[in-house]
Amino acid sequence: MSEPTEDAWQRVDRYFADTLVGHDPALQAAVAAQHAAGLPAIEVAPVNGKLLHLLARMSGARRVLEIGTLGAYSTIWLARSLPADGRVVTIEAEPHNAAVARANLDRAGVGERVDIIVGRAAEVLPTLAGQDPFDLVFIDADKESNTIYLDWAARLGRPGTVVVVDNVGRGGRVADADTTEPQVLGTRAGLQMLADDPRFDATAIQTLDAKGWDGVAIALVV
């Protein structure tokens, strides 16, 4: 049991998820509806959804920005972390995804706490300037644009804002310095920005869960 064979790590992930996350009808219904609507099964793993939820609670977040809604699986986790007057603003480029997300959020009972903005995030984000700052930003959209999204996370946040970037491991391909894969290039550019841009302090951890081998970056706006 000392090597992380696929069998072994899947067993550990199921054990963690069964023990600490549990099975939630609204979240399971959201995944089922997303699947039935033909959306890809690329929502975060249950243990990762709960990580987002806990990070939001640990940081006392009241205003959360999500870039990339998909079917709102992570959005439900985030919305549930907020006080009654809290707000999630989530941006989704595909109107079909946004419709699935809206139904899932309403079914989960958190719909009134969530604004879905349909549009390309790079165009939507500038329109959010001038509001109260966001306390947590979750970046989970087209990886090619991660540096744009990080820039807006810093601009729309404040010192103390928590920024989480999904999918930074990409099955290990992130460590390939010679890659030409646009999504990996975007991911690497985002990680380099987290290292170089004085507005951030960050780390990244690999994840091995229901979604395979990937990773999350966690940053603080300083």
Q: Which is nearer to ligand DHB, 150 or 199 (CB)?
A: 150
Q: What is the distance between the alpha carbons of residues 42 and 49, in angstroms, rounded to a whole number?
A: 12
Closest residue to ligand DHB in the complex (CB): 42
Q: Is 167 in the site for Mg ion (CB under 5 A)?
A: yes
Residue 166 engages ligand DHB in binding (rule: CB under 6 A): yes
By CB under 6 A, tell whether 75 contacts ligand DHB: no
When binding is defined by CB under 6 A, the residue of 12, 29, 42, 210 that contacts ligand DHB is 42
Answer positive or negative: Cα dihedral of 31, 104, 55, 119. positive
Cα–Cα–Cα angle for 184, 10, 19, nearest 5°? Answer: 115
| Residue 135 touches which member of Mg ion, ligand DHB, none, C-beta under 5-8 Å by kind | none
214 lies in the binding site for Mg ion (CB under 5 A): no
Query: Is residue 140 involved in binding Mg ion (CB under 5 A)?
Result: yes
d(CA 128, CA 198): 22
**Distance, CA of 89 to CA of 78 (rounded, Å):** 10
| Residue 66 sits in the site that holds ligand DHB (CB under 6 A) | no
Alpha carbon distances (Å) from 163 to 79, 140, 217 = 16, 11, 8
Closest by CA position to 74, among listed 125, 97, 122, 171: 97
Tokens of 88: 């999630």
Tell me which residue of 199, 200, 51 sits closest to 138, measured CA to CA: 51
Query: Per rule CB under 6 A, is residue 167 in the interface with ligand DHB?
Result: yes
Pick between residue 168 and residue 193 the one whose CB is nearest to ligand DHB. 168
Q: Which is nearer to ligand DHB, 86 or 165 (by Cβ)? A: 165
Minimum CB separation of residue 221 from ligand DHB in Å reads 22
Binding test (CB under 5 A) with Mg ion, winner from 13, 92, 166, 209? 166
Residues at the interface with ligand DHB (CB under 6 A): 42, 140, 166-167
Residues at the interface with Mg ion (CB under 5 A): 140, 166-167
